[in-house]
Homo-oligomer: A and B are copies of this chain.
């Protein structure tokens, strides 16, 4: 156990991080700085301040930040420019919040002269990796304390006992067995893992879902929504310009109302195991569809295909915690470059779990040319005879091979 003078703790105010706070003070005899962020998770943050004060944290060592705008503008939207999906389905709601938290932890450590950071992520998950890769990339000499990998409080009972012994308040729900799920929320999504979900055969219980109604319970009436894009980012809903995080919040409201964005999957963690997770990403689900639609008319084919080819790699980088890596940044430069002309609007229809694209246009940048694509007479815009040569030369290598008797078994 190395010497630590001051540690910045990612502090939610909940039981686990309160135990960590006390445990850090006890085991490292170090000054603790708490950092609590509003990423749109929909929880009061001020209670975290009073709790921290109660644990003896100095007022100047308590940081409570509203990061919603930065989160959506600089992390969520850049990621959506790439139509990013991990393993075909997961919209990376947790993954994309971690690098911002890592950055703020290091910023605050630098500001307060701390030599360490600490977090409440377990040793089995991806979040420890995301926090720590980010922190090391931003400040290579930082010390990191991950109590779940160090202490012996690995069962819930031990944790509760420790809390009791140290005067940490325990809410009734914890005494009654705690949440049946491990949850994480921010403006992009809420996630559920563990416990009741550990059997991938079994359907998730309806009462688990918090942000969306079920498709069955959603309105019987569809709702149309126009999304305006500039440089690949949504900038207005139904004609109303809004800040990035307000757009996402409003999309979450609409998606949640219409039962959109539930996902139940088994994913592959970076640490090597398969894990079952359930996610609600109402706004993100709408954005994924809409962004592909605006790109479909404004992006060159080969650029779109290049992006599709690179997307799984980019998604894995974010999932695995490499947001602050040079390779993620190199890919981002390419992705952002491609979005210059991704301007226009998309109309989607929201109905009982469905996001249906029903129209798209770009006054300035559409590459859709109906005079060429038409099935009717095109007045010579396209010479059908050209296709014969096109096919002949594309076939040439296969024809030569076939003539030579080479069968491609």
Which residues on A are within 8 Å of B, measured CB to CB?
83, 87-89, 122-124, 128-129, 132-133, 136-141, 146, 148-150, 154-156, 182, 193-195, 198-204, 215-216, 220, 222, 262, 264-268, 271-276, 292-293, 296-297, 300-306, 308-309, 312-313, 316, 322, 324-327, 329-331, 333-334, 337-338, 340-341, 347, 349, 351-354, 356-361, 365-370, 372-377, 382-404, 406, 408-409
Contact = CB atoms under 8 A, between A and B. Distances in A.
B262 A356 contact: yes
A297 B267 CA distance: 8
Given A352-B354, A368-B200, A133 B391 contact: yes
A304 to B, nearest CB: 7
A194 B331 contact: no
A390 B398 CA distance: 16
Contacts of A203: 347, 349, 358-359
Contact of A397 (B182, B300, B333, B334): B300
A402 B140 contact: yes
7 contacts: A87-B292, A87-B308, A124-B373, A268-B397, A306-B330, A352-B352, A383-B392
B384 A386 contact: no
A190 B155 CA distance: 52
A197 to B, nearest CB: 10
A351 to B, nearest CB: 6
B129 A352 contact: no
A381 to B, nearest CB: 10
B400 A273 contact: yes
A404 B322 CA distance: 19
A370 B194 CA distance: 10
Contact of A300 (B139, B195, B401): B401
Given A308-B312, A398-B136, A124 B384 contact: yes
A397 to B, nearest CB: 5
Nearest to A268: B301
A91 to B, nearest CB: 14
A274 B368 contact: yes
Instruction: Give 3 nearest A-B pairs by CB, closest first.
Output: A123-B384, A389-B389, A272-B396
Contacts of A150: 385
Contacts of A202: 359
B400 A367 contact: yes
Q: Which of A140, A154, A358 has the most CB of B within 10 A?
A: A140
Given A133-B395, A273-B400, A365-B406, 4 more contacts: A88-B308, A201-B361, A369-B400, A387-B389
Contacts of A360: 200-201, 266
Contacts of A341: 406
Contacts of A322: 302
Nearest to A292: B88
A213 to B, nearest CB: 13
Contact of A138 (B275, B334, B402): B402
A141 to B, nearest CB: 7
A313 B306 CA distance: 10
Given A373-B273, A402-B139, A146 B393 contact: no
Contacts of A182: 375
A128 B359 CA distance: 28
A403 B276 contact: no
Contacts of A409: 329, 337, 340
Nearest to A138: B402
